[in-house]
Structure 1
Amino acid sequence: MSWRENTPGHFERPLDSIELFLKSAGEKGATYNKDNWTVRAYAKFSGGRSADDTKAALKHAWKTLRYLQPQIAASLHGDSIHYDVPQPAILESWMIKTFLVETVLTIDELLASPRRSSLPTLHYLPKTSEILFCSSHWRIDAIGATSLVNLLFRSLAEPSPISFGDEGKNLSSGRDEAARIPQDVSQEDDDAATSLLMEYTTNLPSLGLPIQLVNEITSISSRVKSILPRTATFSVVAACKRKGIDVTSAVHAALIVALQELNSDLSSAERYTSWGIFNYRPFIDPGYTNPAAHSVAVMQCSLPISFIASDFQENTFSLQSFYSQLHNPFNSAALHGMLAPYTRKCAAMMNQPLPRGMPQPTEPLVHGLGVLDRYLEGKYGQDAVEITDFWLGGIVLTRQPLFYVWTWQGKMTLSMCYNEQYYTVGFMISFIERVVGVLLEELNVERQ
């Protein structure tokens, strides 16, 4: 699945298993002319330039990213991806299509009216010094998007001349090649992949969020968040260390308790079944472990989890065991061998209807991103440019919200993206605050 230069300046490679899976997931939004799970990265920034100078500098920085990360300009052709070294007119056409100056819409209005695009786009709001990066998920993951924004602002603060022609050397391989995941697997590995997927399919339905409304007209993807101050964040991290658990497990356990409270009168509330998202970068070739060098890539995997939900402590125990499974070399090797067929089976399942009578899943998909300071510096060019606010999110067109947790600049953020077709904003605010409340109560931490 390596890139091949079939003709001078024209590169191609097939999509790998995780890219095909996410392509299938994105196509669930075709009815609304949107991509489900579109990745969004937002930043508000300050600097000493005028709006016009900033616009020109951002345009150059975006063009620089095309050279450093050429996959932002690669095009999808069926189940393969192509990149062409651009002539000046083609480069200018790409800039017009993908660098968009928003002089009318506010960030909230822009978020509420996403435009489907076959290519990643960068939106600049000059009145408020904000940018929004958007891309189909098959092309990039959340950590990659964070790293790409970091590279954008580094290029903004410290511009350098660029000349296109040899940028093909910067094209990134997919996860399967970068991690040397075998594609031709034994029947034993294929059977193991089927068994792994069945851990999800045979344990449905799961407890989840009760649908608040069904508005077939709206289909607006929205976001709510809760940010813990530095003192509370420090206390949460310290409490988790004392208990020997990681923060993602604790937050995930609190979310399940909040779901249990909403489903206390339902027998189906006993079992929790969902997916856990793992950063696969620790398992890839050392040449790909630096997100700054290979930002535009999907280096993750999703594994099923299912257990009988209990109290916070028992939930945490189950989740800690789940999230630490790849720390075991034996488990890692076993998963590695079956990951390609497993991911292909997940993609096939994505295109199949649920069994008759099976309710659509509504449990939030939890994505623990860890400490984003590893990927996002925040200050650039001797503090000439500074990011003052940052968040990640995604467009959600199904009943399953995306639930992110990360820490940046000492503050923990819990963020949930959802669709207004199914949930009210008031309900989602109360739910995310209940998750925070359970987390702090169980860890004996004061918010202020």
Structure 2
Amino acid sequence: MGWTQVSQRRWERPVNGIEGYFTVLRNMIAPLCGGREHFTLFAKVKVEIDVSDAEGALRHAWKQIRYEQPQIATVVEDMKKVYEVPDETGLEEWLRATFIVSSASDAEELYRRAEPVSRATLYYVPLSSEILVRIPHYTIDAIGMLLLLHSYFRALENPAKDVRFGDEYTRLAPAVEDTLGQPEEPTPEQLKEAIDTARQWTREMPGIGPVSKAGKAPSGQSQNLEEVYSKEMTQRIVERCKEKGVTVTSAVHGAYIWMLRKYADPTGNLSRYVTAASINLRPYLAEPYGSSQYAASVYYAIISWAFDMPETYWDGVRLLNEKYQTAIKGNPVALEKSSHFTRGLCEVVQTPEFLANAVARDALPSSLGIVEQYLQRTYGSNIAVQDFKLGVDIVQGMCLLCIYTFNDQLRLVYNFNEGFEGASDIRRYLDEMKEVLERELLG
């Protein structure tokens, strides 16, 4: 599954299971939706840059990061990742296409009208001193986005005077299975088990979820709403979770499930909750693969969950806490099966049976933890990260609920599609989650 040189400048490797899953989604959805790709990641950063030529410095840092982490310049063709070592002309063409200076008033306006992307792209918005980075999910994951921003600001802080391309292919990110020392391909028996697991999980879909037009109406604009908790409430939530021996992620995820009881589609399955957990695998990788040197990679696991709706808020929180804590940690068998599962999922989502199923209505929770564990607030004396927001494009299917803290404030970003759900409904869900936390966790 390693990288192979196929011509003087071209390197290729097959996509692995999780990269393949997002590639399959792209191939199924993008042609029907004007090239828009489901789950394209975005990160918005408001940053103070005290340099004489901010645009030039940002552009040079983007070029430097391509040299340090060439994965950001890969594309996917069929089911292969492809990297081309650039000559001078090719490098300038790449910079023109992927480093864009926008005249928008701010990054929010830019995001609403940005064109689809099929490779990592950075936008600079001088009027608001913001950058917006958008990257397909088969190239990077959420923790990787944070680490990439960290590396980018490090490059901005310490610009290389002479960047000469030609040997950067040696730093192309391997597939996660290779970094874990797992076999490149599952055995036929392992693949059959993975397909059976994925098929059983998808047959449970959709579980309980809010009212949505997904699968019944045309896709609209990708949107998101953000809830930023006060520092005081965030501190109370953190302290209460420590007292109860649960994580903040479990408490917030539990509040989402409890909210669903109030706003569930009455025509759906009200007794079962069906979701997938995203587990960061970087702590399990040998260095340097778990570090920011290999930020532009997809190094996480999808773990399928389906269980009866809990009777109380705390029943749900404790169940989730146990599942999060034991999904991968200390379980090498589960770690290996997680790679097989995404291969099985690739097979299942292309079957007529899956395509005939009703679309899941709920949002997948995705927790980043504490952003500052990966992205610093300052870099040197002339770069200050003032605000941060991360989310994904929702084109078809499930929404995504991002959970993290930044600047000592709990933040929830509910990503949805306005063709399927209204902003006023999403706002009600976020408000209800906050009320649940106040009443059930802090009350």
Range into which the TM-score falls when normalised by the shorter chain = over 0.9
Query: What is the match of residue 14 of structure 1?
Result: 14
Q: Secondary structure at the match of 1:65?
A: helix
1:184-221 Cα distance to aligned partner (Å, 9 max, x none): 43455335424532451342330001026999566100
Q: Secondary structure at the match of 1:226?
A: strand
Matched, 1:175 2:176: yes
Given that 1:180 and 1:285 are in contact with CA atoms closer than 8 Å, whether structure 2 keeps it comes out as: no
Query: What is the match of residue 350 of structure 2?
Result: 351
Query: What is the match of residue 289 of structure 1?
Result: 290
Matched, 1:220 2:221: yes
Given that 2:224 and 2:415 are in contact with CA atoms closer than 8 Å, whether structure 1 keeps it comes out as: yes
1:27-61 Cα distance to aligned partner (Å, 9 max, x none): 323311211110101101112235xx111111101
Gaps of 5+ in 1: none
Cα deviation for residue 8 of structure 1 reads: 4.1
The alpha-carbon distance between structure 1 residues 267 and 56, as it changes in their structure 2 partners (threshold 3 A), is closer
Matched, 1:437 2:438: no
1:7-41 Cα distance to aligned partner (Å, 9 max, x none): 44432211111110111123323311211110101
Q: Secondary structure at the match of 2:117?
A: coil
Given that 1:150 and 1:378 are in contact with CA atoms closer than 8 Å, whether structure 2 keeps it comes out as: no
Query: What is the match of residue 166 of structure 1?
Result: 167
The alpha-carbon distance between structure 1 residues 217 and 361, as it changes in their structure 2 partners (threshold 3 A), is closer
- Find 2:47's aligned residue among 45, 48, 51: 45
The alpha-carbon distance between structure 1 residues 264 and 47, as it changes in their structure 2 partners (threshold 3 A), is closer
Query: What is the match of residue 335 of structure 1?
Result: 334
Aligned partners of 2:154, 2:69: CA distance in 1, in Å?
Answer: 14
Identity %: 26
Given that 2:328 and 2:334 are in contact with CA atoms closer than 8 Å, whether structure 1 keeps it comes out as: no
Aligned-residue CA RMSD (Å): 2.2
Cα deviation for residue 410 of structure 1 reads: 1.3
Structure 1 residues 259-268 or 400-409, which shifts more? Answer: 259-268
Aligned partners of 1:143, 1:243: CA distance in 2, in Å?
Answer: 27
Aligned partners of 1:81, 1:412: CA distance in 2, in Å?
Answer: 36
Q: Secondary structure at the match of 1:110?
A: helix
Q: Secondary structure at the match of 1:423?
A: coil
The alpha-carbon distance between structure 1 residues 341 and 212, as it changes in their structure 2 partners (threshold 3 A), is closer
Query: What is the match of residue 270 of structure 2?
Result: 269
Report the AA paired with residue 48 of structure 2: S
Aligned partners of 1:337, 1:163: CA distance in 2, in Å?
Answer: 38
Aligned partners of 2:86, 2:321: CA distance in 1, in Å?
Answer: 48
Query: What is the match of residue 102 of structure 2?
Result: 102
Aligned partners of 2:218, 2:245: CA distance in 1, in Å?
Answer: 47
Query: What is the match of residue 121 of structure 1?
Result: 121
Q: Secondary structure at the match of 2:140?
A: coil
Report the AA paired with residue 140 of structure 1: I
Query: What is the match of residue 401 of structure 1?
Result: 399
Aligned partners of 1:76, 1:187: CA distance in 2, in Å?
Answer: 26
Aligned partners of 2:69, 2:329: CA distance in 1, in Å?
Answer: 33
Instruction: Give the TM-score, by structure 1 length.
Output: 0.92
The alpha-carbon distance between structure 1 residues 121 and 187, as it changes in their structure 2 partners (threshold 3 A), is closer
Given that 1:281 and 1:289 are in contact with CA atoms closer than 8 Å, whether structure 2 keeps it comes out as: yes
Query: What is the match of residue 55 of structure 1?
Result: 55
Aligned partners of 2:118, 2:205: CA distance in 1, in Å?
Answer: 34
Query: What is the match of residue 321 of structure 2?
Result: 320
Q: Report the count of equivalent residues.
A: 439
1:224-274 Cα distance to aligned partner (Å, 9 max, x none): 011112222122112112111111111111101101111285572111111
Structure 1 residues 9-18 or 392-401, which shifts more? Answer: 9-18
Alignment of 1:293-304 (within 5 A): 293-304=293-304
